[in-house]
Amino acid sequence: GAVVSQHPSWVICKSGTSVKIECRSLDFQATTMFWYRQFPKQSLMLMATSNEGSKATYEQGVEKDKFLINHASLTLSTLTVTSAHPEDSSFYICSARAQGGGNTGELFFGEGSRLTVL
Amino acid sequence: QQQVKQSPQSLIVQKGGISIINCAYENTAFDYFPWYQQFPGKGPALLIAIRPDVSEKKEGRFTISFNKSAKQFSLHIMDSQPGDSATYFCAASMINSGYALNFGKGTSLLVTP
């Protein structure tokens, strides 16, 4: 099956620093990637939709200047949390939709990246 | 605004029993309804999915029942096993939004030995 890899799987940083999380589709090309955020014991909340070669579309309430998303190639999207604060501590998960996936709707998820901001 | 409502929030089932989780939606434009299984500290994994032109889909011990007129769908796990203990999310998506998934709040399932 299709594999989506996220790196790092966990990261601890100091308040005020920036953290970059990578999402790679290993065996397929992903036209569209989605970034989700999940707090403990809660559901996944869509943050933004990332299309290769164009600007990401952010959901209402998500600060685009704080959560920078870049989708420079068909196999890589990155999420950068800028000037991180403790309230940004969360589980960030990406998912990818295969290019040419037609209207199957199937998304493949990464293993998630746990961010802890001290 | 929660576009997909899921119940129950938690569920305890004895080994060998049937686990049933229900979801409801409002947006009739949704045309893809997957169920995901998530273990602690892991990303969600697709279990089974259905489209609105089908009323039921079965894959192994997992069955989705879909009621288009009621805008409801449910997951049935037959012969539940302790290894099935996880959080289950229903979701809905549509082609108009690039198939971005709208998740339910999740159901924490515990299967006791």
pLDDT digits (tens, 9 = 90+) for A12-27: 999 999 999 999 999 8
Distances (CA, A) of B43 to A24, A64, B18, B38, B57: 14, 23, 25, 6, 24
To the nearest whole Å, the CA of B52 is away from the closest chain A CA by 13
What span, in angstroms and rounded, lies between the C-alpha atoms of A50 and A34?
6
Identify whether the C-beta of residue B73 lies closer than 8 Å to the C-beta of residue B66: yes
pLDDT class of A105 with cuts at 50, 70, 90: low
Is 80 exceeded by the pLDDT of residue A66?
yes
Which residues in chain A (79-118) have CB-CB distances under 8 A to chain B? 93, 95, 97, 103-112, 114
Is residue A62 classed as helix, strand or coil in its secondary structure?
coil
How many Cβ atoms from other residues are within 10 Å of residue B25's Cβ?
21
pLDDT in the model for residue A102 = 54
Q: What is the mean pLDDT of residues A35-60?
A: 92
What span, in angstroms and rounded, lies between the C-alpha atoms of A65 and B51?
37
How many Cβ atoms from other residues are within 10 Å of residue B11's Cβ?
18
Q: Amino acid identity, residue B32?
A: Y
Sorted by sequence, the CB contacts under 8 Å of residue B98 that are 6+ apart come out as A32, A49, A51, A97
Residue of A nearest to B37 (CA): A109
